[in-house]
Amino acid sequence: MEIETIELPGDVPGNSIELRVLRFEGADSDAVSAYLQSSLHGSELPGQAALHFLIPMLEKAETEGRVVGRITVVPQANPIGSAQWQAHQHLGRFDYFSGVNFNRSFPLLDTFDTSALPDIDAPKSLAERLKAQLLRLALPHEIVLDLHCDDESENYLYIHQAFLPEMYDLASALGSTAILSWDSTADAAFEEACAHPALQLPEGERKARAVTTVEFRGLNDVNFATGKADAEGLYRFLVHRGVLKDDTIRLNVDFAGPVTPLENVEMIRAPQGGMILFHVDIGTEVRAGDRLVTVVTNPGDPGGDITLTAPQAGRVLTRRGHRYTRRGDDLMKLLGNKRSETARPGSLEA
């Protein structure tokens, strides 16, 4: 394993960040290669735990001559976000200077030529230069896995429709319970920027690729058990795709969960601000009209309670982690079988 430290100068003198890049040189330069990163949103750590346990597995494979394709790992993809705290709270999701989500506004390229992207010392903001640098690292690989998490959540994936059903193998390897499929590039998340040039390829070449945002459950699901299990899931997938060789691994592609277009996701929103009391946990199958959540607007007065019900039957995929909401904020994601009447174009809040 080679460790490269890429230093990006800050926007004012005396500041800089370091990107730690771990590289495994594959034995076969024609083999499928893989890029994995975590914590593009600085406070999202389940993926970082998975990579923490995956890296020793990759080192062992390298020692035993079983790394076939090139692998690049960036366990901490956003040192800006990792350092972004306010009043003792870790934020890490939006650039302080511009207010832009760290997982939005990536450049969309039509080819894999990254020469037009801003250099690490270009006259651009640090966040823009970091995004360009992450794309430069990721785009030379056929497999790109961007590891995120939701608030309180099942383990699920965002996948462009063009990579389905081939990528059911990833869902099977990771034990994901659902896939959210998308086909628009309105907000240019990292995944979209990595998928964009791949989508211009002929179908045969495109289908050999795998680009995704992995949502490894919720913000607090950071522990030894899930970290190790997720590392094993990533390892199984890399073996299955031929990046690693391991004769002891046989992946059964048995994903049977819902594949839900984004427009079928019911985003349950708070009509007013107040305390949140959930009626159902994540993973619950509900019927249309079932109670989902009550917003308490006037504590002590049941007359102020607003109870939201399921607009259609479906599965509760996520809940917010906090218990006090502002008017209009998202409270839950419900996976429906038909288009949501309140569907918005573009991505959700990955």
Which residue's C-beta sits nearest to Zn ion? 148
Q: Which one of 53-61, 144-152, 193-201, 317-325 is the stretch in contact with Zn ion (CB under 5 A)?
A: 144-152
Q: Which one of 22-30, 40-48, 107-115, 323-331 is the stretch in contact with Zn ion (CB under 5 A)?
A: 40-48
Handedness of CA 290, 293, 299, 305 (dihedral sign): negative
Give whichever of 68 and 74 is closer to Zn ion, judged by the CB atom: 74
Q: Which one of 5-13, 116-124, 143-151, 260-268 is the stretch in contact with Zn ion (CB under 5 A)?
A: 143-151
Q: Which residue has the tokens 């800089």?
A: 16
| Residue pair 307/293 in contact by the 8 Å Cβ criterion | yes
**Interface with Zn ion includes 333 (CB under 5 A)?**
no
**Interface with Zn ion includes 148 (CB under 5 A)?**
yes
- Tell me the closest approach of the beta carbon of residue 86 to Zn ion, in angstroms: 18
- Tell me the closest approach of the beta carbon of residue 5 to Zn ion, in angstroms: 24
Give whichever of 33 and 185 is closer to Zn ion, judged by the CB atom: 185
* Runs of H (alpha helix) within 189-242: 190-199, 203-207, 224-240
**Interface with Zn ion includes 104 (CB under 5 A)?**
no
Give Rg (Cα) of the chain: 21
Give whichever of 104 and 148 is closer to Zn ion, judged by the CB atom: 148
Q: Which one of 42-50, 175-183, 258-266, 338-346 is the stretch in contact with Zn ion (CB under 5 A)?
A: 42-50
- Tell me the closest approach of the beta carbon of residue 148 to Zn ion, in angstroms: 3
The C-alpha atoms of residue 193 and residue 128 are separated, in whole angstroms, by 13
- Total residues contacting Zn ion by CB under 5 A comes to 3
Sheet containing 143-150: order of strands: 2-9, 16-24, 71-74, 34-38, 143-150, 210-218, 155-160, 178-182, 259-261
- Tell me the closest approach of the beta carbon of residue 68 to Zn ion, in angstroms: 30
Q: Which one of 44-52, 130-138, 172-180, 325-333 is the stretch in contact with Zn ion (CB under 5 A)?
A: 44-52
- Tell me the closest approach of the beta carbon of residue 317 to Zn ion, in angstroms: 15
**Interface with Zn ion includes 245 (CB under 5 A)?**
no
Give whichever of 148 and 315 is closer to Zn ion, judged by the CB atom: 148
The C-alpha atoms of residue 191 and residue 185 are separated, in whole angstroms, by 10
| Residue pair 239/250 in contact by the 8 Å Cβ criterion | no
- Tell me the closest approach of the beta carbon of residue 275 to Zn ion, in angstroms: 25
How open is the CA angle 211-168-133, to the nearest 5 degrees? 10
**Interface with Zn ion includes 41 (CB under 5 A)?**
yes
Give whichever of 93 and 279 is closer to Zn ion, judged by the CB atom: 93
Q: Which one of 15-23, 145-153, 226-234, 293-301 is the stretch in contact with Zn ion (CB under 5 A)?
A: 145-153
Strand segments, DSSP code E, in the chain are 2-9, 16-24, 34-38, 71-74, 85-86, 89-90, 143-150, 152-153, 155-160, 178-182, 210-218, 259-261, 265-269, 274-278, 285-286, 291-296, 305-309, 314-319, 324-325, 330-336
The C-alpha atoms of residue 201 and residue 88 are separated, in whole angstroms, by 46
- Tell me the closest approach of the beta carbon of residue 44 to Zn ion, in angstroms: 5
Total residue length of the chain: 350
Q: Which two tokens stand for residue 270?
A: 């708070």
- Tell me the closest approach of the beta carbon of residue 117 to Zn ion, in angstroms: 22
Residues that bind Zn ion (CB under 5 A): 41, 44, 148
